[in-house]
Amino acid sequence: MTLRTESDNPASRHIDRLSTSEIVALINAEDASVASSVQAALPQVAQAVDAIVQALSAGGRLFYVGAGTSGRLGVLDAVECVPTFSAPPELVQGIIAGGERALTQAVEGAEDDPLQARRDLQARGVTAADVICGIAASGRTPYVIGALEYARELGAATIAIACNPQSAIGALAAFSISVDPGPEIISGSTRLKAGSTQKMILNMLSTAAMIRLGKVYGNLMVDVKVTNQKLAERANRLLRQITGVDDVEAARLLAEADNEVKIAAVMQIERVDAARARKLLEQADGRLRAVIGDLD
Do 281 and 180 share a structural domain? Answer: no
Burial classification of residue 272, based on how many CB atoms lie within 10 Å of its CB (0-12 exposed, 13-18 middle, 19 or more buried): middle
Which structural domain, as residue segments, surrounds residue 276?
A: 229-292
Q: Residue 248 falls within a domain, yes or no? A: yes
What is residue 1's predicted lDDT score, i.e. its pLDDT?
57
Q: How far apart are CA 119 and CA 147, in angstroms?
A: 9
Q: Give the model confidence (pLDDT) of 7-31 as tens digits.
A: 778 878 899 899 999 999 999 999 9
For residues 236 and 189, state if they share a domain: no
pLDDT, tens digit (0-9, with 9 covering 90-100), for 82-119: 999 999 999 999 999 999 999 998 887 889 999 999 99
Q: What is the pLDDT of residues 59-70, one digit of tens each?
A: 999 999 999 999
The one catalytic residue among 80, 149, 249, 256? 80
- Those residues with Cβ within 8 angstroms of residue 208's Cβ, 6 or more apart along the chain or in another chain: 45, 46, 49
> Do 129 and 268 reside in the same domain of the chain?
no
CATH number at residue 96: 3.40.50.10490
Based on the fold, state whether residues 97 and 240 are members of the same structural domain. no
Q: What is the DSSP letter of 4?
A: G
Helix axes 114-123, 142-154, angle to 10 degrees: 50
Encode pLDDT of 225-271 as tens digits: 999 999 999 999 999 999 999 999 999 999 999 999 999 999 999 99
CA 87 – CA 77 distance, rounded (Å)? 12
Give the domain-ending residue among 162, 182, 212. Answer: 212
Shared domain for 252 and 185, answered yes or no, is no
Start-to-end CA span in the chain (Å):
55
Residue 187 banded pLDDT, cuts 50, 70, 90: confident
Together in a domain, 12 and 45: yes
- CB burial of residue 107 (10 Å; 0-12, 13-18, 19+): middle
pLDDT above 90 (res 55): yes
**Is-above-0.75 flag for pTM?**
yes
Confidence at 170, pLDDT banded by 50, 70, 90 = very high
At 114-168, the pLDDT tens digits run: 999 999 999 999 999 999 999 999 999 999 999 999 999 999 999 999 998 889 9
Residue of 30, 111, 184, 260 with catalytic role: 111
Residues 280 and 269 sit within 8 Å (Cβ to Cβ):
no
Q: What's the rounded mean pLDDT across residues 273-294? A: 96
For the ranges 7-21, 27-41, 52-66, 209-223, the lowest mean pLDDT is seen at 7-21
Say if residues 75 and 103 touch (Cβ distance below 8 Å).
Answer: yes
pLDDT of residue 189: 85
Average pLDDT score over the chain = 94
Do both 24 and 91 map to the same domain?
A: yes
What is the number of structural domains in the chain? 2
- Weakest-pLDDT range from 26-40, 100-114, 172-186, 199-213: 100-114
Does 220 fall in a domain?
no
Tell me if 83 is assigned to some domain. yes
Confirm whether 80 is a catalytic residue. Answer: yes
Q: Between 21 and 190, whose confidence is greater?
A: 21
270 catalytic, yes or no? Answer: no
Q: Where are the beta strands (DSSP E) in 45-172?
A: 62-66, 92-96, 131-136, 157-162
pLDDT at 2: 66
pLDDT of residue 8: 74
Cβ pair 269, 250 in contact under 8 A = no
